[in-house]
Amino acid sequence: MTASALVVNLAASAGAALAVMLVAFVIASVKGVHRIVDVAWGLAFAAVAVVTWVLSAEYGDDGRRLAVTLATCLWGLRLAFHIARRGRGHGEDPRYAKMLARAPGNPAFYALRKVYLLQGALVWLVSLPVQAAAYLPEGVDPLLVLGLVLWAAGLAFEAVGDRQLARFKGDPAHQGRIMDRGLWSWTRHPNYFGDFLVWWGLYLTACATWQTAVLSLVSPLVMSALLIWGSGKRLLENHMAHRPGYAAYAARTSGFLPRPPRRDAGTEAR
């Protein structure tokens, strides 16, 4: 692996993530709905992966490059499509509406600094394994295979959980009820747990050398922190805490790592 080439890639990927976020900001400003940034999140990862694949052509193993690029793009594009479809016809996300209502000065430029640019920086940081893996000359090894298996399990877990929730919410008979079926009976956050597996899996694809393993370790650690203590699980549960039935659901269902529901915590009528 050529260190100087990777440095160039890091700069180019930062530009790609920034470009996606700036385009999203312009579109959101025109439409007056900043929830668009959640769609841009997945697209920015795909953009970083494609830029990396192009720039690493003369340096990394072709099989590893292709596998990591496809894995990242598939995850990012599925997530972007899911969020776009879920938000179609809805107004502003309550999280952003609340934040912008308290924004000092111009709300749009506050959103640019606190949401778009911050998320662009996080995309660049979290995608470090994707960039590092593409520059490894090593071919298929056990860690690459294990990483892709973990990635596939995470993607499946996330996609199935999202599909189950969408079908549940699409039934008028379930209006006002807490989703506690399927994967949602094993963990309160199948989608976040799926993301957790995806990024630890992608991290393993960059662990063929100790240097890239150390360089990339920040990625799954940051993503795990975001999912569990940051804008993921913690924020959503604060929003859901006062909904009828949620306390009982939380008492019997794992907060993150999947496990069978507790049967002695009481169950809601189905």
pLDDT at 95: 76
Q: What is the pLDDT of residue 267?
A: 42
3-class SS at 1?
coil
Q: Where are the alpha helices (DSSP H) in 88-141?
A: 94-101, 107-111, 117-126, 128-134
Of 231, 198, 157, the residue nearest 75 (C-alpha): 198
Tokens of 108: 């749009």
Distance CA 204, CA 67 (A): 13
Among 34-48, 107-121, 172-186, name the most confident range. Answer: 34-48
pLDDT value of position 124: 97
266, pLDDT greater than 80: no
Q: Which residues contact 180 (CB under 8 A, 6 or more apart)?
A: 249, 253, 261, 268
**95-140: pLDDT as tens digits:** 777 777 787 878 888 889 889 999 999 999 999 999 999 999 998 9
pLDDT number for residue 202:
98
pLDDT tops 60 at residue 4:
yes
Q: Give the pLDDT confidence score for residue 233 in this predicted structure.
A: 80
What lies within 8 Å, CB to CB, of 214 at 6+ separation is none
Residue showing tokens 């995309």: 123
- Determine the number of helices (DSSP H) and then strands (DSSP E) in the chain: 13, 0
More confident residue, 10 or 265: 10
Give the helix, strand, coil percentages of the chain, each rounded to 5: 70, 0, 30
In this prediction, residue 137 carries a pLDDT of 94
Q: For residues 78 and 42, what is the distance between their CA atoms, to the nearest angstrom?
A: 8
pTM: predicted TM-score of the whole model, two decimal places: 0.91
Contacts of 143 (CB under 8 A, 6+ apart): 204, 205, 207, 208
Query: Among 196, 230, 218, 54, which Cα is nearest to 127's?
Result: 218
Q: Average pLDDT in the 181-191 region?
A: 94
Q: Tens digits of per-residue pLDDT, 18-31? A: 999 999 999 998 98
DSSP string for 21-62 = HHHHHHHHHHHT-TTHHHHHHHHHHHHHHHHHHHHTTTTS-H
Q: How many other C-beta atoms can be found within 10 angstroms of the C-beta atom of residue 236?
A: 15
Chain mean pLDDT for the chain:
90
In this predicted model, what pLDDT tens digit does every residue of 46-104 receive, in sequence order?
999 999 999 999 999 999 999 999 999 999 999 999 999 988 877 777 777 777 778 78
Q: What is the pLDDT of residue 264?
A: 59
Cα 254 to Cα 166, 187, 225, distances in angstroms: 21, 5, 17
pLDDT of residue 269: 31
Residue at token pair 């900043």: 34
